[in-house]
């Protein structure tokens, strides 16, 4: 795979994982009330 | 020329294209449309609470209900077009309809016309949901013919995760713009533009494999997915018992999950009413709902990936059989026992999500990738039926029990869920490999429909039997 495609793959995964992690972190903040 | 850009032939991957670029394309769409599960935040702010707009519960539920109905209808009736035109077209249509639904809603609120929110978010947004939901499924299974369960698990986990992203964003937007008509107009406008940008990665990036493309791990390929295996048209599949047994499996698995999910907050409060102050129990119940959504999401990836190893039939035996036992555990041991209650509930919800994520790979084992997107679209009507059946069973029975307090309030509805799961278990046992006489001839399969799955031309029907039976 070329360097360009590797960079594209990294950017594409960051595009979806950053918002996803933001959501997961926001969720985990609420779970503390269970324990 | 626009037709060319969206045509399937325009997105055939060049040599060296990484298949790992396809899951983020699928996720961009599914994480976007998964916002639907977070409608409750907007619903609450539109409702009758202090400072809200004061719309009734029925009125504020309408956009979501219509969206789910349109999801089922557009997936069922649009599936064939999605197969024919390809994933770029489908993802683009989904982006336009879903984000367009928000923009119409913004316009409606700007002119204090709530019916435009119903039409915009519910009707147009719902079409975006249905087309978007099925858009990447068959493409992912062609790229990941050696790991179809994992591939669809990633995408459909995105649908579960979409609400996690949307919920805090909606809360922040409503807090920023306020709960006036103008404020909601701005919230919908920002969401419409935001989702248009976010989801566009999907249709820009998605590619289909070339005719001669092979997965890198052919030796690990699922026996039912290789070579000149099953290739059943959508019209034939609809006439076969395998489709309808799987419809029952999906419907009852989803019903059982919704039975818990729909009333998770009050169920928790009823089971642990005596374990602490009311305010503490209420906060914990809210956290319980949040952790269930996490289990729902993770189950989609974990169990669906596991199905590539242990087989589709076996994993549904677990979802349905162990699911029924877990309901029994909650009924008999759950009261006041937080650890057992939590573990059982989380597993039930993980099976609920996994049922959605594993079913495309199960369809592929039975019917092949030939028109799996269209068949999947038809199967999603089971979801619509379960969306009505699950809440109906739990709410009607709990309401009928009137003043009864504590966990016993749920005994009857949980027993019904156990019964439904048992029926689903039997339906799963009745699923047999499709007789090859129903396959379309090799000459008709052609083009990219068969791409990426032709690793062996000598596959025997006994191998396929083995795959579907495990």
Tens of pLDDT, residues B58-71: 888 889 888 888 88
Residue in chain A nearest B35 by alpha carbon: A23
Query: Rounded distance, CA B174 to CA B267, Å?
Result: 29
For range B434-463, the mean pLDDT: 59
| B152 assigned to some structural domain | yes
CB atoms within 10 A of CB B335: 18
Asked if B293 lies within 8 A of A20 by C-beta distance, the reply is: no
Asked if B27 lies within 8 A of A16 by C-beta distance, the reply is: yes
Least confident of B33-37, B280-284, B366-370, B457-461: B457-461
Query: Rounded distance, CA B327 to CA B177, Å?
Result: 43
| B457 assigned to some structural domain | yes
Asked if A27 lies within 8 A of B198 by C-beta distance, the reply is: no
For range B77-99, the mean pLDDT: 93
Least confident of B19-28, B276-285, B327-336: B276-285
- B321-374 residue pLDDT tens: 999 999 999 988 887 788 999 999 999 999 999 999 999 999 999 999 888 989
| B3 assigned to some structural domain | no
State the DSSP H helix or E strand holding residue B262, giving kind and residue range, or none if neither: none
Q: What are phi and psi of B337, to 5 degrees?
A: -105, 90
pLDDT at B470 over 70: no
State the DSSP H helix or E strand holding residue B70, giving kind and residue range, or none if neither: helix B57-85
pLDDT at A32 over 50: yes
> Does A7 reach chain B within 8 Å, measured CB to CB?
no
Which residue is associated with the tokens 């494999």?
A: B209
| B10 assigned to some structural domain | no
Q: How confident is the model at residue B456 (pLDDT cuts 50, 70, 90)?
A: very low
Give the closest-approach CA distance of B32 to chain A in angstroms. 10
Portion 235-254 of B in contact with A at CB < 8 A: none
| B15 assigned to some structural domain | no
Q: Are B13 and B209 in contact (CB under 8 A)?
A: yes
Residue B119 tokens, joined: 């039409």
* Total residues found in chain A within this entry: 35
CB atoms within 10 A of CB B175: 12
Look over chain A and give the mean of its residue pLDDT values, rounded to a whole number.
87
Helix axes B381-400, B57-85, angle to 10 degrees: 160
> Does B392 reach chain A within 8 Å, measured CB to CB?
no
CATH number of the domain where residue B103 is located: 1.20.1250.20
Query: Rounded distance, CA B283 to CA B151, Å?
Result: 36
Q: B262 versus B281: which is more confidently predicted?
A: B281
| B13 assigned to some structural domain | no
Portion 186-205 of B in contact with A at CB < 8 A: 198, 201, 205
Residue in chain A nearest B20 by alpha carbon: A9
Structure ipTM: 0.93
> Does B161 reach chain A within 8 Å, measured CB to CB?
yes
Q: How confident is the model at residue B228 (pLDDT cuts 50, 70, 90)?
A: low
- B233-246 residue pLDDT tens: 999 999 999 999 99
Q: B413 versus B224: which is more confidently predicted?
A: B413
pLDDT at B220 over 60: no
Which residue is associated with the tokens 């400072």?
A: B51
Asked if A33 lies within 8 A of B294 by C-beta distance, the reply is: no
> Does B293 reach chain A within 8 Å, measured CB to CB?
yes
- B117-136 residue pLDDT tens: 999 999 999 999 999 999 99
Which pLDDT belongs to residue B468? 58
Residue B202 tokens, joined: 């999907």
- The structural domain count of chain B equals 1
Residue B447 tokens, joined: 């083009």
For range B295-316, the mean pLDDT: 94
For range B181-206, the mean pLDDT: 97
Residue in chain A nearest B197 by alpha carbon: A15
Q: Are B392 and B256 in contact (CB under 8 A)?
A: no
Interface test with B, best of A18, A24, A34, A35 (most B CBs within 10 A): A34
Name which of B162, B149, B283 is nearest B224 in CA terms: B149
Query: Rounded distance, CA B125 to CA B102, Å?
Result: 7
Query: Rounded distance, CA A9 to CA B20, Å?
Result: 7
Interface test with A, best of B20, B24, B35, B216 (most A CBs within 10 A): B24
Q: How confident is the model at residue B99 (pLDDT cuts 50, 70, 90)?
A: very high
Please list every residue in chain A whose beta carbon sits closer than 8 Å to the beta carbon of residue B13. none
Query: What are B208's strand-pairing partners?
Result: B12
Name which of B390, B386, B321 is nearest B356 in CA terms: B386
| B7 assigned to some structural domain | no
pLDDT at B462 over 70: no
Which residue is associated with the tokens 């404020």?
A: B183
HEC string of chain A? Answer: CCHHHHHHHHHHHHHHHHHHHHHHHHHHHHHHHHC
Asked if A8 lies within 8 A of B21 by C-beta distance, the reply is: yes
Look over chain B and give the mean of its residue pLDDT values, rounded to a whole number.
86
Please list every residue in chain B whose beta carbon sits closer than 8 Å to the beta carbon of residue A33. 280, 283-284, 286-287
* pLDDT > 70 in chain B, percent: 91
Interface test with B, best of A6, A8, A16, A35 (most B CBs within 10 A): A16
Q: How confident is the model at residue B438 (pLDDT cuts 50, 70, 90)?
A: very high
Asked if B31 lies within 8 A of A20 by C-beta distance, the reply is: yes
Query: Rounded distance, CA B37 to CA B356, Å?
Result: 15
Which pLDDT belongs to residue B447? 44
Query: Rounded distance, CA B306 to CA B268, Å?
Result: 30
**Angle, CA B389 vertex, CA B386 and CA B391 arms, to 5°:** 105
Query: Rounded distance, CA B312 to CA B290, Å?
Result: 28
pLDDT at B41 over 70: yes
Helix axes B22-33, B181-205, angle to 10 degrees: 160
Q: B45 versus A30: which is more confidently predicted?
A: B45
Helices (H) and strands (E) in chain B, counts: 22, 0
Least confident of B17-21, B277-281, B420-424: B277-281
Which pLDDT belongs to residue B282? 80
For range B157-161, the mean pLDDT: 88
Find the domain containing B240 and state its range.
20-208+221-469
Residue B405: DSSP 8-state: -
Q: What are phi and psi of B380, to 5 degrees?
A: -65, -10
Which residues neighbour B300 within 8 Å (Cβ) at sequence distance 6 or greater?
A: B153, B156, B157, B159, B160, B353, B354, B356, B357
The predicted model scores a pTM of 0.84
pLDDT at B445 over 70: no
């Amino acid at each position: 795979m070329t360097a360009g495609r590797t960079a594209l793959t990294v950017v594409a995964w960051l595009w979806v994982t950053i918002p996803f992690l933001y959501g997961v972190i926001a969720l985990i903040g609420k779970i503390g009330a269970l324990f | 020329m626009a037709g060319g850009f969206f045509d399937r032939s325009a997105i055939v991957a060049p040599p060296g294209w990484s298949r790992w670029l396809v899951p983020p394309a699928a996720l961009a769409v599914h994480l976007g449309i998964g916002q639907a599960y977070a409608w409750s935040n907007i619903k609450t702010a539109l409702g009758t609470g202090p400072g809200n707009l004061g719309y009734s519960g029925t009125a504020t539920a309408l956009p979501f209900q219509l969206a789910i109905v349109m999801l089922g209808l557009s997936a069922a009736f649009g599936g064939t077009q999605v197969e024919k035109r390809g994933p770029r077209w489908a993802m683009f249509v989904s982006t336009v309809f879903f984000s367009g639904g928000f923009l119409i809603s913004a316009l409606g609120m700007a002119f204090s016309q709530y019916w435009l929110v119903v039409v915009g978010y519910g009707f147009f947004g719902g079409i975006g949901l249905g087309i978007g939901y099925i858009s990447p499924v068959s493409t992912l299974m062609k790229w990941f013919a050696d790991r179809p369960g994992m591939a669809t698990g990633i995408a459909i986990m995105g649908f579960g995760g979409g609400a996690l992203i949307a919920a805090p964003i909606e809360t922040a937007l409503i807090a920023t713009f306020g709960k006036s008509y103008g404020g909601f107009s701005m919230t919908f406008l920002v969401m419409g533009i935001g989702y248009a940008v976010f989801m566009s990665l999907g249709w820009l990036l998605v590619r289909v494999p070339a005719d001669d493309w092979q997965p890198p791990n052919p030796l690990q390929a699922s026996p039912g997915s290789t070579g000149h295996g099953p290739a059943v048209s959508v019209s034939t599949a609809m006439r076969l018992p395998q489709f309808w047994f799987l419809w029952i499996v999906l419907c009852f698995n989803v019903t059982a999950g919704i039975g818990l999910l729909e009333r998770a907050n009050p169920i928790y409060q009823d089971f642990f009413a005596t374990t602490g102050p009311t305010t503490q129990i209420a906060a914990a119940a809210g956290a319980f709902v949040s952790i269930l959504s996490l289990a729902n999401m993770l189950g989609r990836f974990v169990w669906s990936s596991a199905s590539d190893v242990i087989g589709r039939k076996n994993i549904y035996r677990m979802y349905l059989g162990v699911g029924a036992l877990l309901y029994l555990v909650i009924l008999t041991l759950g009261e006041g026992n937080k650890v057992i209650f939590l573990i059982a509930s989380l597993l039930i919800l993980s099976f609920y999500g996994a049922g959605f994520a594993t079913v495309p790979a199960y369809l592929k084992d039975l019917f092949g990738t030939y028109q799996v997107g269209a068949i999947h679209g038809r199967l999603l009507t089971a979801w619509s039926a379960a969306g009505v059946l699950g809440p109906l069973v739990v709410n009607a029975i709990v309401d009928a029990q009137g003043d009864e307090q504590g966990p016993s309030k749920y005994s009857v509805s949980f027993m019904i869920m156990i019964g439904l799961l048992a029926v689903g278990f039997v339906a799963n046992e009745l699923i047999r490999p499709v007789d090859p006489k129903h396959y379309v001839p090799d000459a008709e399969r052609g083009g990219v429909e068969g791409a990426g799955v032709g690793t062996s031309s000598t596959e025997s029907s006994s191998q396929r039997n083995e795959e579907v039976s495990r």
